[in-house]
Amino acid sequence: MRAAQISPPLPQDLAPIMQLPPIPSDLPVLIAGPTASGKSALAMEIAARHGGVIVNADASQVYDCWRVVTARPTLQDEARQPHRLYGHVPWDATYSAGHWLREVAPLLSGPQRPIIVGGTGLYFMALTEGLAQIPPTPAELRAQADTLDREEMLADLDPRTRQRIDQVNRARVQRAWEVQSATGRSLAAWQDDTPAPLLPLQAATPIVFDISKEWLNARIFARFEHMLDLGALEEVAAMAPHYDPAMPAFKPIGVPELMAHITGEISLEEARIRASVATRQFAKRQRTWFRKRMLSWHRVSPG
């Protein structure tokens, strides 16, 4: 049996959810939360009990080259419930929140109500708060940005933009720098001209996982171990001929670490440690962001 067909037996894969709100049959469901928190399992449970199509809102899970290393739904899960926007983007394609928003739009009025699940907060904000219509960045400017330090780009940004973005996230800093450099307007100014959202929050059932660091960290370590068991190393090795650390498709946590092992730079144990640490740091930023930006969402905690 291929690794992609096996469901990782994580502990507490769907722990009891406290204070789950009512799930009206006529409203889209939004499920946000940090990595490894059990979002996909909850989406599967809601789809089985209440009906709906599960829609991806995770920037790493759109790429067709990754299933195991990004914890995409298994083939078994996809056979049990309909899934959309998973693994449909080639590794070398450009993909952004704007691309995702255009693809999710027709699903909002489709025959099955969408259950939109993921950890990319920008996707949810674009959907429920609107997305600024910013012109694309010229390729030569992006190439220049790729050579700059995060701190250097951050220093060029205006105070309002710096306050709004995740300053630790290089991709967010670079995006803001590119917008300002390409258009002559700050990202904050573009955002202030944002059009109406496709799905106002009051027209959905929004759920966000609010979980303890200790509970989540235990799952993060266990999940990466299961990824290795399921073939994550082999999955990354298959993409080694195309590897470019500057490309978005190769940024998911676990890919750079395992690639460094494949090329002989570090041991597998060191790759395991680095990936687990990076995942914990990423989850911490996600938890902080969700708690700050999703104040009106229904908060649920595994019990």
Task: For residue 42, tell me if it sits in a domain.
Answer: yes
| pLDDT value for 18 | 55
SS3 57: coil
The reply to whether 126 and 26 lie within a common domain is yes
| pLDDT value for 134 | 87
| Tens-place pLDDT, residues 158-197 | 999 999 998 988 988 999 999 999 999 999 999 888 889 9
Task: For residue 229, tell me if it sits in a domain.
Answer: yes
The reply to whether 118 and 242 lie within a common domain is no
The reply to whether 109 and 170 lie within a common domain is no
Task: For residue 241, tell me if it sits in a domain.
Answer: yes
| pLDDT value for 303 | 56
Count of structural domains within the chain: 3
Across 34-58, average pLDDT: 95
Task: For residue 176, tell me if it sits in a domain.
Answer: yes
The reply to whether 172 and 121 lie within a common domain is no
Q: What is the chain's mean pLDDT, rounded?
A: 91
Nearest CA-CA partner of 215 in 16, 2, 46: 16
The reply to whether 206 and 71 lie within a common domain is yes
How far apart are alpha carbons 83 and 284 in whole angstroms? 28
Task: For residue 24, tell me if it sits in a domain.
Answer: yes
The reply to whether 35 and 144 lie within a common domain is no
Task: For residue 30, tell me if it sits in a domain.
Answer: yes
| pLDDT value for 133 | 84
The reply to whether 83 and 206 lie within a common domain is yes
Return the ∠ at Cα 218 (arms to 294 and 121), rounded to 5°: 20
The reply to whether 30 and 114 lie within a common domain is yes
| pLDDT value for 169 | 87
Q: Per the structure block, which two tokens stand in for 10? A: 């994580």
- State the residue range of the domain holding 273: 214-284
How far apart are alpha carbons 34 and 209 in whole angstroms? 7
How far apart are alpha carbons 209 and 176 in whole angstroms? 28
Across 127-155, average pLDDT: 92
